[in-house]
Amino acid sequence: MKILVTGGLGFIGSHTVVELQNAGFDVVIIDNLSNASIEVLDGITSITKKAPEFEKLDLRDKLKVQVFFEEHQDIDGVIHFAASKAVGESVEKPLLYYENNINTLVYLLQELSKKGNSNFIFSSSCTVYGQADQLPITENAPVKPAESPYGNTKQIGEEIIGDTCKVYNELNAISLRYFNPIGAHPSAEIGELPIGVPQNLVPFITQTGMGLRQELSVFGDDYPTPDGTCIRDYIHVVDLAKAHVVALQRLLKGANKANYEVFNVGTGKGSSVMEVIESFERVSGQKLNYKIAPRRPGDVIEAYADTTKANEELGWKAVSTLDDAMASAWKWEQKIRKK
């Protein structure tokens, strides 16, 4: 079976391509390389020993998307990662985010709705929950007003898919609400490649560990959490990639209970910023330079998933520990700096 992976050279996409190929799927990747390097293709190929098909294409080009689907009528499913993802940048450039994250989704759904039976997996995010009233967060927790245009594109994206599935019965879709993906493939052939100053905690930590950044700022240590720092649900990117494979298989087997479903993808365990730093220090054997800085406006205090639905219905469970993920992120950072 052939699966289209949009954004398949990006962080989560590349790991998912590996797991799809390992599970026996043929993969065609679309990526415009706006936030990825073409060398990722070599990384994927060196792990799986099979080069995925690749098409450099900007999904904002509706005509090219149409032509792509005309030329690839054998696609059995689509996993849609391609999007812009920097929260801060989305506040500065909202229209870029609405165009890149919403238009591309609409163009893909338009093509799929022409096809008859089709299967679609969407990269959503736990940001849709904001600061949830109850922890752990279940899929039934209310969606809170988005804090940024980026977050809003995920909420609107989910609504667009839901509305589309209501009228196109042959379109089967799943939104996966990721918690905080971290780490890299254990081979260190692929990993996260942040451009410029990393927006996320773990690449900032590993770059600080390598001496590329002077010190990490821990934003706030006076939150109402056990050690005063914010808590997130950090999931190893390989576990997250595998969740896509099982979600896709659910659709391909027709095992879905409705033609649009939503699943949390996390570990179910919250870790504080200090615990992540301690984990880094354990796996790297070195102390991290960090300072306590004032709270950042808009930061959610605590978020971790209730993963019961994914565990029971997808038969999927995250297996890697925080230390496993941090060790893989550190190995990857050392490898790319050597390069």
Ligand X SMILES: NC(=O)c1ccc[n+]([C@@H]2O[C@H](COP(=O)([O-])OP(=O)(O)OC[C@H]3O[C@@H](n4cnc5c(N)ncnc54)[C@H](O)[C@@H]3O)[C@@H](O)[C@H]2O)c1
Is the bond preceding residue 136 a cis peptide, omega within 30 degrees?
yes
* Least distance in angstroms from the C-beta of 299 to ligand X: 15
Query: What character string, x for contact with ligand X (CB under 6 A) and - otherwise, covers 178-207?
Result: x-xx--------------------------
Structure token pair of residue 40: 């990722």
Q: Please identify, among the stretches 7-15, 284-292, 293-301, 315-323, the one whose residues bind ligand X according to the rule CB under 6 A.
A: 7-15
Asked whether position 223 contacts ligand X by CB under 6 A, the answer is: no
Helices 62-71 and 104-115 meet at what angle, rounded to 10?
30
Q: Which of 97, 107, 129, 150 is catalytic?
A: 150
State which of positions 111-130 bind ligand X (CB under 6 A).
123, 125
- The 2-6 sheet, strands edge to edge: 53-56, 26-31, 2-6, 75-80, 118-125, 171-178, 260-265
Single residue of 21, 90, 100, 272 touching ligand X by CB under 6 A: 100
Q: Please identify, among the stretches 164-172, 175-183, 201-209, 284-292, the one whose residues bind ligand X according to the rule CB under 6 A.
A: 175-183
Asked whether position 157 contacts ligand X by CB under 6 A, the answer is: no
Q: Are 219 and 299 in contact (CB under 8 A)?
A: yes
Taking the C-alpha atoms of residue 84 and residue 260, their distance in angstroms, rounded to an integer, is 24
Binding residues for ligand X, how many (CB under 6 A)? 27
Q: Please identify, among the stretches 2-10, 249-257, 258-266, 331-339, the one whose residues bind ligand X according to the rule CB under 6 A.
A: 2-10
* Least distance in angstroms from the C-beta of 194 to ligand X: 8
Taking the C-alpha atoms of residue 1 and residue 15, their distance in angstroms, rounded to an integer, is 18
Query: Is 223 among the residues known to form the active site?
Result: no
* Least distance in angstroms from the C-beta of 138 to ligand X: 18
In the complex with ligand X, the residue whose CB is nearer, 53 or 228, is: 53
Single residue of 31, 111, 233, 333 touching ligand X by CB under 6 A: 31
- How would DSSP label each residue in 144-190? PPPSSHHHHHHHHHHHHHHHHHHH-TTEEEEEEEE-EEE---TTSSS
Q: Please identify, among the stretches 139-147, 176-184, 215-223, 254-262, the one whose residues bind ligand X according to the rule CB under 6 A.
A: 176-184
Taking the C-alpha atoms of residue 74 and residue 116, their distance in angstroms, rounded to an integer, is 12
Asked whether position 13 contacts ligand X by CB under 6 A, the answer is: yes
Residue facing ligand X at closest CB distance = 10
Q: Are 247 and 174 in contact (CB under 8 A)?
A: yes
- Which of helix, strand or coil describes residue 219? strand
Structure token pair of residue 105: 């989704």
Length of the chain, in residues: 339
Q: Are 218 and 274 in contact (CB under 8 A)?
A: yes
State which of positions 58-87 bind ligand X (CB under 6 A).
58-60, 81-83, 85
Q: Which residues are catalytic?
A: 150
Q: Kindly list the residues in this chain that would bind ligand X in the complex (CB under 6 A).
A: 7, 9-13, 30-36, 58-60, 81-83, 85, 100, 104, 123, 125, 178, 180-181
